[in-house]
Each structure stands twice: as structure tokens, then as C-alpha cells.
Structure 1
């Protein structure tokens, strides 16, 4: 499917950076098949807007402001409250771990902010058509395979360990691509506190660094199959 053949679609945009929102509205709004029905800086504004102006697709950032809901919970909320709406994640954290988490939470598409307009349009088009692309499209940061979509979230498995609620929270944010400073800001904690919680979680899981955390994610997936 080419982006020129994109069907008529209403689109709501969520990003906490005004420059990014303005650029998306300008570029996507110029496409003849896209009608922008909302441009929002917070998840609360988005949810209020969707009640007044429903959208076929929500294009949302994954890591929002420090006091906003995290990407995983936002996707789940959107799927629960607006089941007919397609959720496409547009993020600077376009790594395999973040993509896997987003898709497991219920997102219909995933694309990195470093990608061009054509890739964003393609992600929207595929979401509208409920298409899981060929693996060769994964370089665009799109969808995981159907197998990955059906795999159990690694965080559910990690939560069964001796981790405290805050240690679990820190690990989830790490897998979303957030730094210790980002996490501290998001939850109004001291960076040293976040660092201590992260080290404690790693010790309980028997791992030493972020790379091992991402490897553990894949091992936990395989252990449940």
C-alpha cells in the first residue's frame, strides 16, 4: 500500500513538545487524505478532545511530560476507551525493546522520530488497514511480527520476582528508554534514589547493566512459549 492511496482518515496528535506538534500538523495536515481533529500537549487534553472529536488514528509520543501518564498506560487507556481508534506511536526511543512493549500494550504501529514523513504516513496507512508488514519493513520501526504481538509482556514476568513496586516502575521506564534523570523527573525523586532502586532491582534479577536487562526480556519471552 502506498501513502498516496491512504484512505480518508481523521488524526489526533499528542506530543509534549510544541515544535514537534506544529511540524506534524503542518506536514500531515497538508496530505489530502488526512484531517487533523486535535493537537494536544498532554494525555488529559487528548482524552477530552477525543470525546468531542473522535479520531480514526492517534499519533502519540511514548515518553510524555514528567507529570503525565507513561506510554504503556496511555496506550491501554486509549484501547479501552476508544477501541475503534488506531494507536500509532511516534518516538525518539525507537529501539526494539520500546517497540515490543508498545505493541504488546496494544499499539497498532510504531515509527521513530528520526524517520521521514513517508514512514509516518506508511505507519498510519498500515494501522488503518490492520496490516502487519513483511519483516523487511521493520527497519522503519513499524510493527513486530504476529508472534511478538501474542507474546506475554516481560514486565508481567519480572513483576513476579521480589521487586518492590518502585523497583518495578524503574525497570519499566528503563525499558521505555528513559534515563535515570528522566525517571527522577517523572516521579519527583532524587536521581540517587532512582539509581539505588535500579541497582537493587538488577541485583535481585541477577543482572548487571541495561544490556542484560534487554537480554532478559527476550529470555523471559522464550521461557513462556
Structure 2
């Protein structure tokens, strides 16, 4: 992607919240060096445009709606089909584990949704120049995590998603039960805990894994590796 100094950065937006898309389009549309070529609520609509129109940077939400492909597989598919496309992931799950997972899956940059607008603009421009951008809040921790993953790869080991996050024993046992098809009420009965406690532990585990729904958990089940055996 050879960006010329006299051409604006062509940006596409992907988020399942129309208000977010409207706000981003309005903000980016005021800039002289950025052109919003499209905003999309679904990956399907995005793919139609990507096959016919050149885009420099895709700014995408990591977790889309329940009917959408999960973030990891979407990133991998986009990287395979559109190798020249640079991808900036924007996520409400701003933690090293989620960032590392998105970077390894094909994203050029990662930024949290609580970031300021000038940080998002820096991220877009950095990614458009084919340089990595990582949210400043987690940049140091992510660097350590990626170095560990690289070291594991050099030794012929593969780091799993579960090994990149800090799940407590109780959070992990709740995930195991969900993957076995158990409802929160059944898990609460099994472990003699309240439904509220189980629900809290489940949601805490989901946040750490960068997912929001049971459907997304099943989609990333293979990434949990040997811990789910």
C-alpha cells in the first residue's frame, strides 16, 4: 500500500452500533488527509465493497453482533483475502491478551474504545504508514506478551488463547461448564454458589478473553487449546 503525500487515506469503518459509525464518520470527514469511503454495520456488507473498491485502512470493532463471525476469524479472513488492507482494531476489551490475539491474527494496530479522538487519528495514520500502533495503556504489557509468544514459537511451542490471559480457577471451571452446555443456574447448583456469583465469574472470564457471548466462546474454543481437555 503505497500512500502518496497528495492523497488522502481511504478509511472504511466496521461497527455494529450505528451511533458509533455516525460519530466516527462525522469526525473523520472533517480531516483533510482522511477520506471515509464507507461505514458498515456488518462484515458481509464490508466484504462486498472491499472486492470492488480500494481501502487503505479498516477501522473495525473486535466484537460485532451475535450473528457475525468472531473477531479472530474475521481478521484472518480479511488478511488472507485482502493482504494490502491495513487493519486497526478498536475494542472495549483493552487488555494485552486481546491486543496480542488481534495483532497475531492480522491487525496492524489495536486501540481501546476509551481512547481520545487524537489517539485514534494517530493510530489510523500510523497504521496507514504500515507501522504498528498499540494503545499506550497496554503497549508495554503487550510487548512482553508478544516476546513470550515469539520465544514459545522459536521453541516449537504454541501459546493458546487461555495461556495469554489470567483466568482464575473458578472462572475457568465456569467456562468448562458453559462449553459442556450447562446454563448459569445449573452451574450455580453444581458448585453451591449463587447465580449472581456464577454470572459475575462468567462475565469476568469473557472480558479477559475479549468475547461477549456464549456463541463467541464456542467459536474460539479451539484457541483454548490443551486447557480444555
- TM-score range for the pair, normalised by the shorter chain length: 0.5 to 0.7
In the superposition, relative to structure 1, how do residues 91 and 16 fare at CA in structure 2: closer, same or farther (>3 Å)? Answer: same
1:148 aligns with 2:146: yes
After superposition, the C-alpha distances for 1:65-121 in whole angstroms (9 at most, x for unaligned) are 001011111111111111111000011111111101001111000111100111111
> What is the deviation of 1:139?
2.1
Matched residue, 2:137: 139
Report the TM-score when normalising by structure 2.
0.64
Matched residue, 2:29: 29
After superposition, the C-alpha distances for 1:112-161 in whole angstroms (9 at most, x for unaligned) are 1100111111111111222246x9x6327699449827735632797xxx
For the 8 Å contact 1:91–1:113, the answer to whether it is kept is yes
Matched residue, 2:64: 64
Q: Distance in 2 between matches of 1:64 and 1:142?
A: 27
Matched residue, 1:177: 210
Matched residue, 2:227: 205
Aligned residue pairs: how many?
A: 177
> What is the deviation of 1:175?
4.7
In the superposition, relative to structure 1, how do residues 6 and 141 fare at CA in structure 2: closer, same or farther (>3 Å)? Answer: farther
Q: Which has the larger radius of gyration?
A: 2
Matched residue, 1:53: 53
Superposition CA RMSD, Å: 3.8
1:83 aligns with 2:86: no
Matched residue, 1:217: none
SS in 2 for 1:45: helix
For the 8 Å contact 2:162–2:209, the answer to whether it is kept is no
Q: Which runs of 5+ in 2 are unaligned?
A: 164-175, 181-201
In the superposition, relative to structure 1, how do residues 10 and 103 fare at CA in structure 2: closer, same or farther (>3 Å)? Answer: same
SS in 1 for 2:49: helix
Report the TM-score when normalising by structure 1.
0.65
In the superposition, relative to structure 1, how do residues 33 and 101 fare at CA in structure 2: closer, same or farther (>3 Å)? Answer: same
After superposition, the C-alpha distances for 1:153-205 in whole angstroms (9 at most, x for unaligned) are 632797xxxxx9x949x9x9665422xxx323x36x9xxxx8xxx9xx89x83
Matched residue, 1:112: 112
SS in 2 for 1:94: coil
